[in-house]
Amino acid sequence: MMNTYDEVYRRSIEDPEGFWREAAEAIHWDQPFEKVLDQSRVPFYRWFKGGKLNTCYNCVDRHVEAGRGDRAALIYDSPLTGTKDTYSYARLQGEVSRFAGVLRGLGVEKGDRVLIYMPMVPEALISMLACARLGAVHSVVFGGFAAHELAKRIDDATPKVIVSASCGIEPKRVVPYKPMLDQAIELAKVKPTSTVILQREQALAELTPGRDHDWAQAMASAEPAACVPVEATDPLYILYTSGTTGQPKGIVRDNGGHAVALHWSMKHVYGLEPDQVYWAASDVGW
C-alpha cells in the first residue's frame, strides 16, 4: 500500500474510507459491502455495512481452493508433552468442518454463543474456527480460570455449548479443568445444554451423561458443515476483560472489521509473507 508509517497514518486519517476499502479487497466477500463506514449512530461505528463473508472461509477454505492445501497452517510444539504436529490447510479444513458439524449436531446455529475453556492445544483453534464457520459467536476464557470467574462469563455470554478439556499441563503440575467447569456450571444461573470435552491422557475426566460429549467420539461420527455467510457487522467473538476492578466486560468484535484489520496488520505491521511463521507467546484467552 504505502512505504512509511507516516504515509500510512496520514492516509488512514485523511481518507479512512478509501484506505480501508483498499484493504478490504484482500478479503473474500460472499456479498459486496454497500458502505465502508456507517457513521449514522456515532460513536457506534459500523464497518462494511451490507457486506457478507465468512471468517473461517477466509482463514482456511480459500487457501485450500487456491491450491495451497498442502502448506502448513498451524504448527503445534509442546515441550511439556513432547508433542510436535503440523496441520496443513487441507487437514485443518477437515478438522474444522467436522467440529462445526459436531456443534451443529448439538443445536448450535448462527448467532448462538459457544464458550471455549481450553489449554493451548490445536483443538482450541479448531473450536474457534468451527464457530466462525457456522456464524456462531465464540468466547475464549483463559484455561484454568477459577470456577467463580468462569461462572460470571457463562452467565454473561449465555453459551449454548461449552468446549473444554479434561486438563491443562503446566511445567510442574497437571491442572484438572473438568472439576472447575462442573463447579462453574453449578454456580452459573444460565446452564449450557451441552459440553464437549477433549480427553487428555494426563488426567481423564468423568463425563456427565446427557450433557457431556467426548471430543474424539463426537468427531468420529460428525458430518462436515459448510461455511455460513454472515453480515460483516455480525459478531465474531466476545473477549472478556480480566474483571480485576469489577464485573468482567465483554468486548465484541464483528466479522468484517476484524477480518480486514487483521489481514492488513499481519502484512503491514508484522511484515509476514507466505510460508513465513508467526509465533506468539500469548494465550488465546487473553
Question: pLDDT tens for residues 98-110?
Answer: 999 999 999 999 9
**Range 248-277 average pLDDT:** 95
Residue 230, pLDDT above cutoff 90: yes
- Per the CB < 8 A criterion, the answer to whether 102 and 133 are in contact is no
Query: Closest Cα to residue 117, out of 196, 15, 57, 46?
Result: 196
* Rounded to 5°, angle at Cα 195 from 189 and 197: 135
- Per the CB < 8 A criterion, the answer to whether 17 and 7 are in contact is no
**Range 236-241 average pLDDT:** 96
Which of the four pLDDT bands, split at 50, 70 and 90, describes residue 3? low
Tell which CATH classification among 3.90.76.10, 3.40.50.12780, 3.40.1350.10, 3.20.20.370 matches the domain 53-268. 3.40.50.12780
With the C-alpha atoms ordered 276, 285, 84, 196, is the resulting torsion angle positive or negative? negative
Residue 52, pLDDT above cutoff 50: yes
Report domain extents, the chain. 53-268
Burial of 72: CB neighbours in 10 Å, binned 0-12, 13-18, 19+: middle
**Range 130-151 average pLDDT:** 96
Percent of the chain with pLDDT over 70: 99
- Per the CB < 8 A criterion, the answer to whether 259 and 28 are in contact is no
**Range 70-81 average pLDDT:** 95
Burial of 128: CB neighbours in 10 Å, binned 0-12, 13-18, 19+: buried
Q: Model-level pTM?
A: 0.96
Percent of the chain with pLDDT over 90: 92
For the chain, the average pLDDT equals: 96
Residue 1, pLDDT above cutoff 50: no
**Range 73-83 average pLDDT:** 94
Residue 2, pLDDT above cutoff 60: no
The pLDDT score that the predictor gives to residue 144 is 84
Which of the four pLDDT bands, split at 50, 70 and 90, describes residue 88? very high
User: The C-alpha cell of 229 is what?
Assistant: 455467510
Residue 203, pLDDT above cutoff 70: yes
- Per the CB < 8 A criterion, the answer to whether 139 and 114 are in contact is yes
DSSP strands (E only) in 43-186: 46-49, 52-53, 72-78, 83-88, 113-117, 137-140, 161-165, 167-170, 173-176
